[in-house]
């Protein structure tokens, strides 16, 4: 069927132009990693920009940013992920937010 070509695909009986697995299938690790990296960048930027202000302002704005990113991640697809991924994402976002609060506590 395939001539001299050595195909290791399980769908080698299909024609070459047919790609059955070409649909995008999002996975929870992508949402988790996206939330982690984006929150890290946003919180770091806010912390640096607000370094001269009261710690309460930093904590308040970082809380809003974290809640906004959590909502975005949830709507992006985390709501359909398994409970372990949802818990891990929530804990990770809470931990990063807690580090910012700890750093801003010196300015309260």
pLDDT in tens, 42-95: 999 999 999 999 999 999 999 999 999 999 999 999 999 999 999 999 999 999
Q: Does residue 10 sit within a domain?
A: no
Q: Does residue 85 sit within a domain?
A: yes
Q: Does residue 23 sit within a domain?
A: no
HSE-up of residue 102 (Cα within 13 Å, Cβ side): 6
What range does the domain containing 54 cover? 29-107
Q: What pLDDT is attached to residue 5?
A: 56
Q: Does residue 24 sit within a domain?
A: no
Q: Are 70 and 35 in contact (CB under 8 A)?
A: yes
Q: Does residue 49 sit within a domain?
A: yes
Q: Does residue 19 sit within a domain?
A: no
User: For a pLDDT cut of 70, what percent of the chain falls above it?
Assistant: 77
- Where are any strands of DSSP class E within 10-94? none
Q: What is the pTM assigned to this prediction? A: 0.76
Q: Does residue 54 sit within a domain?
A: yes
Number of folded domains that form the chain? 1
Query: Residue 106's pLDDT band (boundaries 50, 70, 90)?
Result: very high
Q: How many residues are there in the chain?
A: 108
Query: Residue 31's pLDDT band (boundaries 50, 70, 90)?
Result: very high
Task: Name every residue whose Cβ is closer than 8 Å to that of residue 105 and which is 6 or more positions away in sequence.
Answer: 55
What does DSSP assign to residue 97?
H
User: Of 80, 72, 71, whose CA–CA distance to 27 is shortest?
Assistant: 80
Q: Does residue 18 sit within a domain?
A: no
Residue with the two structure tokens 């960048």: 41
* Integer Cα distance of 59 and 22 in angstroms: 43
């Amino acid at each position: 069927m395939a001539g001299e070509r050595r195909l290791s695909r399980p769908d080698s009986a299909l024609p070459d132009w047919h790609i059955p697995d070409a649909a995008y299938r999002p996975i929870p690790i992508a949402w988790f990693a996206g939330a982690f990296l984006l929150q890290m960048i946003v919180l770091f930027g806010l912390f640096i920009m607000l370094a001269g202000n009261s710690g309460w302002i930093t904590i308040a704005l970082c809380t809003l940013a974290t809640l906004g990113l959590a909502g975005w991640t949830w709507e992006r697809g985390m709501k359909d992920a398994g409970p372990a991924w949802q818990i891990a994402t929530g804990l990770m976002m809470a931990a990063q937010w807690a580090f910012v609060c700890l750093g801003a506590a010196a300015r309260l």
